[in-house]
Amino acid sequence: MPRQARMPEQSRISVLWSQYGRAILVLCVFALFIHDIFGTHGFLAMRRTKLEIERVQKDINRLATENAELSDEVKSLKTDPHKIESIARDELGLAKPGDVIIKIPQSRQQPK
């Protein structure tokens, strides 16, 4: 039985590492870099999420302002007699006793 010269396992690994190690390392670093940018929790996803948070925050602020304005209007409608009177006169067509209401018909001409 001829004896073959076998390379020890340790030296085989070192030869493979010296030939392909840097390429594998560069490939792994490149894959991590791509994942950090385009992955599920990568840079682009976080940027989209940040923009969405800013948009929703603006909507919340706008709605809070609108809510405060509507709350003030409800309060004035409940308590301000001048506001109540103006709505009764303008929108409901009511009048105080002794007042005369003159309604002017709207013209039927088409706007030019």
**How many Å apart are CA 77 and CA 54, to the nearest integer?**
35
Give the mean pLDDT of the chain.
Answer: 85
Per-residue pLDDT averaged across 45-73, rounded?
A: 97
Question: What pTM was estimated for this model as a whole?
Answer: 0.53
Q: Is residue 40 pLDDT above 90, yes or no?
A: no
**How many Å apart are CA 80 and CA 101, to the nearest integer?**
23
Burial 81-96, CB ≥16 within 10 A → b, else e: eeeeeeeeeeeeeeee
Q: What percent of the chain has pLDDT over 70?
A: 90
Q: Give the count of alpha carbons within 13 A of 107, CB side only.
A: 3
100 burial type by CB count under 10 A (0-12 exposed, 13-18 middle, 19+ buried) = exposed
Is residue 74 within 8 A of residue 67, CB to CB? The reply is: no
**Taking the domains of the chain in order of start, what are their residue ranges?**
26-90
pLDDT of residue 63: 98
Greatest mean pLDDT range, 13-27, 34-48, 64-78: 64-78
The model's confidence at residue 22, banded by pLDDT at 50, 70 and 90, is confident
Q: Is residue 18 pLDDT above 70, yes or no?
A: yes
Is residue 95 within 8 A of residue 101, CB to CB? The reply is: yes
Number of H helices, E strands in the chain: 3, 0
pLDDT of residue 94: 81
